[in-house]
Homo-oligomer: A and B are copies of this chain.
Amino acid sequence: MIVAVDAAGGDFYPKNPVEGALQAIEENSDLTVLLVGPEEIIKKELANHKYDEKRVLVHDAPQIIGMEESPAQAVKTKQQSSIVVGLGLHKAGKCDAFVSAGNTGALLAASMFILGKLEGVLRPTIASYYPTLKGFRLLVDAGANLDIKPETASQFAKMAQIYCQQILHIEDPKVGLLNVGEEEGKGTENLKEIYATLKDHENFIGNVEGKDILPGKADVYVCDGLVGNIILKFGESIPEIVQKMIGSAIKEMQMSEQEVANIQKVLHAALSSFNYENVGGIPFLGVNGVSIVGHGGSSPLAIKNMIKSAVQTVEQDVNGKIVASLN
C-alpha cells in the first residue's frame, strides 16, 4: 500500500505533511508513503527525522500551488505542482491514494480532470465530516456542487452512506435532507423533488432542520454545496467563539487562577468533539481514485489521520462498493 502525500500543501509544509507521513508509517507497518513536492525541501525536512527509509519515497514536483490561487488556472498552468504530479502518479498506478492539505479547489479540479469519474457517477461530491454529540457525521455536498438535482442528491446520499459504513463504522447510516421544516412538502420545489427521490432510499429519515445537526439526528446530511459550505464553515467557527465567550465571562467574575485553569480544562475536553485533527480529511467521493483533502492548517496528527482514512478507503474498496451501489 502506497499513499502519496502532498508535501507542498497546506499552511505548514513541508514540516506537517512530512511529520504526519512518518507517523503514519510508524503506525502501519504495511504502509509506504510517497512524498510529492520540491525534492530539496522534502529531503531537508526528512533529514530532521529518523525513519524507515525503505518506506519513504520522494517524487520531485518543483511547482507550488498557493492556498489562494485560482484553482482552474493553477491546475492548468502548474503541471509540475505536487497536486498535479501526485494525482498523475495515482492515475498511473504508482500509488493507491493521494492526500493533500493544500488548495482545496485545485485538488478538486485536478482530481476531476486527472482521475475522472467512477462508472455511473453523475457528479463527484465532497462529503465533509461534521461534529455532532454522537461523533463525526457527514455533510454532503460541502461545497463542490452549489446546486444539486434530485438524481445527484440521491447519489451523494448513497456514496456518503457507504463512506459512513466503511470508514466511520456506522452500520446503517441514516440519511436526512436539510430543509426548513420536518414535514414532507416543506421547502423549495427542488427540495420537494429531492425528497421524493430519497423517499425510496434505504434509511432515509426525511427532512431534518438546522437544529438537528449538532445533536446528530442523521448520519448523512444531504444539502446543496451552498448550504453545506456555509454550515461547514459556521461549525468550524464555534470552538473559538465559545472560548471567547467563556473568556469574557471569566473576566467579569472574580476567580482564582486555579478556578480558571479548571474551567479551561473542562472547556478543552468539551470542545475536543470539534477537533477535526481526529478525522483528518474529507473525501472527494465519486472520482476514479482516492483523493482526500484536509484543512490548510492540518497538524501532523491530522495528516496522519488523512493517510489512515485513505488506507481504509482503499482496503474497504469504497469505490468498488460505490460503483456496485449506483449501477
Give chain A's interface residues, CB within 8 Å of chain B.
133, 143, 146-147, 178-180, 187-188, 191, 209-215, 223, 225-227, 229-238, 241-242, 244-246, 248-250, 252-253, 255, 259, 262-263, 265-267, 269-271, 273
Measured CB to CB, the closest approach of chain B to A53, in angstroms, equals 41
Q: Which of B180, B249, B273 contacts A270 (CB 8 A)?
A: B249
Asked whether A270 and B253 contact (CB < 8 A) given A210-B234, A237-B214, the answer is no
A250 contact set on B, CB distance < 8 A: 266
Q: How far is the CA of A133 from the CA of B238 in the complex (A)?
A: 11
| Dominant SS among interface residues on chain A | helix
A253 contact set on B, CB distance < 8 A: 265-266, 269
Contact B238 A238 (CB under 8 A): yes
Which residue on chain B has the smallest CB distance to residue A271?
B245
Measured CB to CB, the closest approach of chain B to A251, in angstroms, equals 10
Measured CB to CB, the closest approach of chain B to A133, in angstroms, equals 6
A273 contact set on B, CB distance < 8 A: 245
Contact A233 B262 (CB under 8 A): no
Q: Which of B231, B238, B248, B265 contacts A230 (CB 8 A)?
A: B231
For this complex, 21 residue pairs linking A to B, each with C-beta atoms less than 8 Å apart, are A133-B241, A146-B180, A180-B226, A188-B226, A210-B231, A210-B232, A211-B236, A211-B237, A213-B234, A214-B237, A214-B238, A215-B241, A223-B230, A227-B227, A227-B230, A248-B270, A252-B269, A253-B269, A255-B262, A255-B266, A259-B259
